[in-house]
Amino acid sequence: MAIRQKQLRKKELREDPLMTMISEAQLWLAVNGKKLAIGVLAAAVVIVAVVLLQNMREAADLESREAFADAQLEIAQTNPEDVIPPLLRVADDYQGTSGGSEALYTAAEMALNEQNSELAIELFSRFLKEYKGEYLLEAGASGGLATALENSGKFEEAADLYMKLADDKDARDYRYFALLNAGKAYAHAEQYDKARAAFNIVVNEQEQSNTRARAQEELARLDVIADGIGLP
């Protein structure tokens, strides 16, 4: 009986699930250990590369902001007509960084303020092409581009861009500014139905506000225009 019991214990030991799993794991490691080590090493290399890249980006970002600050100091000490080149140097040298984006955006605004509409169109268009995801600056650049187009007499193109901005869910703060300007630009382009539609959106969505009052004034002005040229 003792011999049989001992044999049973050996059999149970051999069939123990834990021992079986350990044995299988040892066998798997013996066969695949080298591959596993290579995989772990590769993963470690990727992690290190990501960390280094992030650190490089942060360093470049910091350097770009310092360059932007230097450009602002240079602007403060130069003639008004020479303010844009220092900003464009930063935008060119630090493309893709926060300092580069702010420098380019500021240069575009400067061009707009100086009534240099063609340059403003070029710079705002470049900003919108190079920088995605910076919603506030994107919205501002879209509005600036539309204004520059309007100043250049490209009223319908400007109005379409204003309407696109008005429909942008990430730029809700610009919605009624954009709708009012879209309506005015459409009116200048003699697209009176589109102008009226833009103003009516403001009236319907706004309660008592200065924005609503301005839209109503523009609608009244459209009525005068319609009466004068015999529109229905």
Backbone angles phi and psi of 16, in degrees to 5 = -60, 120
User: What ranges do the domains of the chain cover?
Assistant: 49-131, 155-232
For the ranges 55-59, 106-110, 184-188, the one whose mean pLDDT is highest: 184-188
pLDDT the model gives residue 147: 95
Percent of all residues in the chain with a pLDDT value above 90, rounded to a whole number: 41
DSSP code of residue 1: -
User: Coil, strand, or helix at residue 198?
Assistant: helix
Task: Assess whether pLDDT exceeds 50 at residue 63.
Answer: yes
Give residue-wise pLDDT tens across range 171-230: 888 899 999 999 999 999 999 999 999 999 999 998 878 999 999 999 999 988 877 665
d(CA 58, CA 60): 5
Cα–Cα distances in angstroms (integers) from residue 56 to residues 49, 60, 65, 134, 180, in the given order: 10, 6, 14, 20, 44
**Distance from C-alpha of 139 to C-alpha of 170, rounded to nearest angstrom:** 8
More confident residue, 42 or 149: 149
Q: Which pLDDT value is given to residue 69?
A: 58
Task: Indicate the average pLDDT of the chain.
Answer: 77
172, 144 contact by CB (below 8 A): no
Write the burial class of residue 98 (CB in 10 Å: 0-12 exposed, 13-18 middle, 19+ buried). middle
Checking if the pLDDT of 67 tops 70, the result is no
DSSP reduced 3-state for 153: coil
So what's the pLDDT on residue 60?
53
Q: Average pLDDT in the 146-158 region? A: 96
> pLDDT-based confidence at 77, cuts 50/70/90?
low
CA 202 to mean position of chain CA atoms: 26
In whole angstroms, what is the distance from residue 172 CA to residue 211 CA?
14
State the Cα–Cα distance between residues 123 and 128, nearest whole angstrom.
9
Q: Which residues of 115-151 are buried (b: 16+ CB within 10 A; e: fewer)?
A: ebbebbbebbebbbeebeeeeebbbbbbbbbbbbbbb
This prediction has a pTM of 0.67
